[in-house]
Amino acid sequence: MNGKLTCTLLLAVSLLLSACGGRNTGKSSDAVPALREFPSADPVPSVITDPKESFEYMIQNYWSRFLDPSTAFQCDSNVVNGVPDTDVETAAGLFFTLLERPADKTFSISAMGAFFDMVEKYQEANPSSNVFKYFEQTVTRYLYDPNSPVRDEDLYRPYVKGLAASPLTDPQMVPAYSYDASMCSLNRYGTPAADFAFTDLDGKRHTLYGVRAERILLFFSNPGCNACGEIVDVLCTDETVTSMAGSGRLAVINIYIDSELDKWREYATTYPKQWISGYDHTGTIRSDVTYNVRAIPSLYLLDSGKTVLLKDAPVEKVIAYLHATEQK
């Protein structure tokens, strides 16, 4: 056998050994399909005409072809289940964006739980696949990284609960995922926000539940924080926000949770006068037993009854939500 042919055969063997689909299907390894495009879900049946039902059908079937456990595809460091990882990430990003669309997040939260179940089922059927590990990292990066523009603890919660309970998860990661799941359960969407006390610039004591307005925007910030300053600029230049705040329909409560009060008092005077500025004099928020403030700045939007509408949301989400509700 000449050297060129030997190299070719070794390369072929190497590729076959790196292919996923570890189930014993009775087929030879050369039956493992090569690269493919991300498989789009079946179109919504024509009999489904209601927009809400159409959306739910699309979401429920979004991953059905990609995560069909009866199929096995090539995988390596740049390929996930036969699809280039960049294409899978694009599909995942679109999926997360779609889940943000409904005003009622109940369905979207349930859909994330179903998504985890599909990933776990696929991995169990194909033990050599990289699907479980890929989505473990990608979902966490998109939905739980404080710097992600689409972060959403409510959507992450069912997925991280699955990670904490799954036998497929690295045992060393289980305590961390269990902790994250408990933190994501604090002040989750549709539940009453935890009350807390704070002290304003004049030394007066207040509570969250003592503030009355149609909408309440909690803004956890620090003096001199560049990202906080950017949010202030966005809020102060948005016509809907300024109109609602000026009329008293929106209460902006700006809370400082650290201990350098002299810096806070100096900086707090620069905030709009109609905002309520205060500091966490009890240290309750810093203790992580009521609010999971993982990074500053952090925004929460509440309704008049203090029910959570948005949790630790990017300012763009807050603005979009207020615009949508004002247009109704």
Radius of gyration of the chain (CA): 24
The CA distance from 182 to 169, in Å, is 17
Which pLDDT does position 122 carry in this prediction?
97
Q: Which residues are CB-contacts of 221 (< 8 A; sequence separation ≥ 6)?
A: 228, 231, 232, 254, 255, 256, 296, 297
Which pLDDT does position 33 carry in this prediction?
61
Which pLDDT does position 328 carry in this prediction?
67
pLDDT in tens, the chain (328 residues): 444 333 332 333 333 333 344 333 333 344 556 689 999 888 999 999 999 999 999 999 999 999 999 988 989 999 999 999 999 999 999 999 999 887 789 999 999 999 999 999 999 999 999 999 999 999 999 999 988 988 999 999 999 999 999 999 999 999 999 999 999 999 999 999 999 999 999 999 999 999 999 999 999 999 888 999 999 999 999 999 999 999 999 999 999 999 889 999 988 888 898 999 999 998 888 876 789 898 999 999 999 999 999 999 999 999 999 998 887 6
The CA distance from 108 to 159, in Å, is 12
Where are the chain's structural domains?
10-184, 197-327
CA distance to 194, 201, 221, 257, 290, per residue, from 283 (Å): 14, 17, 15, 7, 11
Question: Is the previous residue joined to 149 through a cis bond, with omega within 30 degrees of 0?
Answer: no
Terminal Cα distance for the chain, rounded: 76
Name the token pair of 23.
């189930």
Q: Which residues are CB-contacts of 165 (< 8 A; sequence separation ≥ 6)?
A: none
Name the token pair of 118.
């599909």
Which uninterrupted H or E stretch holds 203? none
Which pLDDT does position 31 carry in this prediction?
52
**pTM for the whole thing?**
0.83
| CATH homologous superfamily, domain 197-327 | Glutaredoxin (3.40.30.10)
